[in-house]
Amino acid sequence: MKVLQLCHKPPFPSIDGGCIAINTLSQGLLANDIDLKILTASTEKHPFKPDEIPEDFKEKTDIEAVFLDTRVNIIDAFSALVTSDSYNVNRFFSTDFDRRLIEILRRTKYDIIHLESLFMTPYIDTIRKLSKARIILRSHNLEHLIWERLANSTGNTAKRMYLKHLASKLKKYEMKTINEVDGIAAISYEDTKRFKDFKCKVPIVTIPFGIDLKQYDFVQSKADKLNKLFHIGAMNWEPNKEGINWFVDEILPLIKDEDVSMHLAGRAMPGYLKELNSTQLVVHGEVDNAKTFMQDHDIMIVPLLSGSGIRIKIIEAMACGKAVISTSVGAEGIACTNGEDIIIADTAKQIAAAVKDLSGNAEKVRSLGKNARKLIENHYDNDQIILKLIDFYQEK
């Protein structure tokens, strides 16, 4: 089977959840002898770095990139306010990318064109003109839902109105586009249900993010006190920034007298957070190895108020056997059970109470982590998930 994977960001370097999800899926397809070709966007935020891609991966996928300038252009953004266009998506259409796609499609006949995220859907028309391949949309989340939730959680009236406007345009675009592909591989059961509520007429399957468990060591600390809290996530993703601001402003004051420290890691760490660096709030910024960072700390905090899809960093932390305290939004899409393999807390007081409870109970922290690892083994093993995706590819 020949598959062309069109990506809105490169699978390497795997610097955020989206890159990791693309990489894991690509590796899974290769492991099942799929003839895979990758064409990816390269952007200022996610540059293409050939030197950081393993040679065997480059050879097997013939990966190549086209630069897209996806930076926000004020004039274009303003113009989109008075048109029906979704500026969020249109930023990913490039004549250079389209030209290279045409060349590839004229040269090779594919069975499947796999679109990574909504941002690759502007190329559907080109694909239809030149290929009879089935187009499968890999939906990482419902984009409009992210902006709706951001709008609902902001106190700034003007900003809320603008975000709702963006969300409305994205929703119309998503509702139209989902029936222009031949199938949708949604990343969570919640998103699958939402697509069906949108009157989705094409086949849809839930394909969650998968883990190669061999890459995640399960080694739990035997210390009497497990009190190092942590959060890791790219801070140029608005929901992460919003959540950490909420943690710092409303939750941290509630645990200031506790014997705990909160460790923040991630790309594009804002300067104002770095200035707050202290013994209780330790700001690491971008770290060399996310898995090592997780292993070195005890309890993951995921204070998300907005977002959609599935939080890949939670899956990774669980695979490492870490206890996780998350809001309902943060844990959405994960087949977890509150009190068994995760702690769900939706208010500042609830999160603070959960922190106080776990930081004084090392055995409970280890028990949550052990159950979390079992959850990942049972539901997020990439070997089984990829087979389900390949079966979906082959459906008529």
Distance from C-alpha of 283 to C-alpha of 375, rounded to nearest angstrom:
30
Which two tokens mark 230?
Answer: 């942590």
What is the pLDDT, as a whole number, of residue 72? 55
Same domain, 91 and 76: yes
Residue 357 identity = D
Domain count, the chain: 2
pLDDT for residue 30: 98
Same domain, 41 and 85: yes
| 244 and 322 inside one domain | yes
CA distances from 346 to 188, 369, 380 (A): 21, 20, 25
Here the tokens at position 313 are 């960093």
- 3-state secondary structure (DSSP) of residue 67: strand
Examine the domain organization and report whether 231 and 334 are in the same domain.
yes
Buried b (16+ CB within 10 A) or exposed e, 244-264: bebbbeebbeebeeeebbbbb
Q: Are 8 and 116 in contact (CB under 8 A)?
A: yes
CA–CA dist 286, 311 (Å, integer): 18
pLDDT tens string for the chain (396 positions)?
999 999 999 999 988 888 999 999 999 999 999 999 999 999 999 999 999 999 999 999 999 999 999 875 543 444 444 444 555 688 899 999 999 999 999 999 999 999 999 999 999 999 999 999 999 999 988 777 776 777 777 778 877 787 787 778 888 888 889 999 999 999 999 899 989 988 899 999 999 999 999 999 998 999 999 999 999 999 988 899 999 999 999 999 999 999 999 999 999 999 999 999 999 999 999 999 999 999 999 999 999 998 777 899 999 999 999 999 999 999 999 999 999 999 999 999 999 999 999 998 999 999 999 999 999 999 999 999 999 999 999 986
Q: What's the one-letter identity of residue 120?
A: M
Q: Could you tell me if 155 and 197 lie in one domain?
A: yes
Same domain, 194 and 231: no
Q: Is the dihedral of CA 377, 381, 383, 386 positive or negative?
A: positive
CA-based R_g, the chain, Å: 21
Give the residue numbers spanning the domain of 326: 214-379
The pTM assigned to this predicted structure is 0.82
| 281-285 vs 299-302, strand pairing mode | unpaired
What's the rounded Cα separation, in Å, for the pair 234 and 337?
Answer: 26
- Please provide the size of the chain in residues: 396
- Report pLDDT for 88: 66
Any idea what the CATH number is for the domain that residue 272 is in? 3.40.50.2000
253 and 177 in a single domain? The answer is no
167 and 220 fall within a common domain: no
- Distance from chain centroid for Cα 85: 24
Are 178 and 51 within one domain? yes
Residues 33 and 107 both lie in one domain: yes
303, two tokens = 């204070």
**Does one domain contain both 288 and 203?**
no
pLDDT at 86: 57
Same domain, 86 and 108: yes
Q: Where would I find the H helices in 178-204? A: 189-197
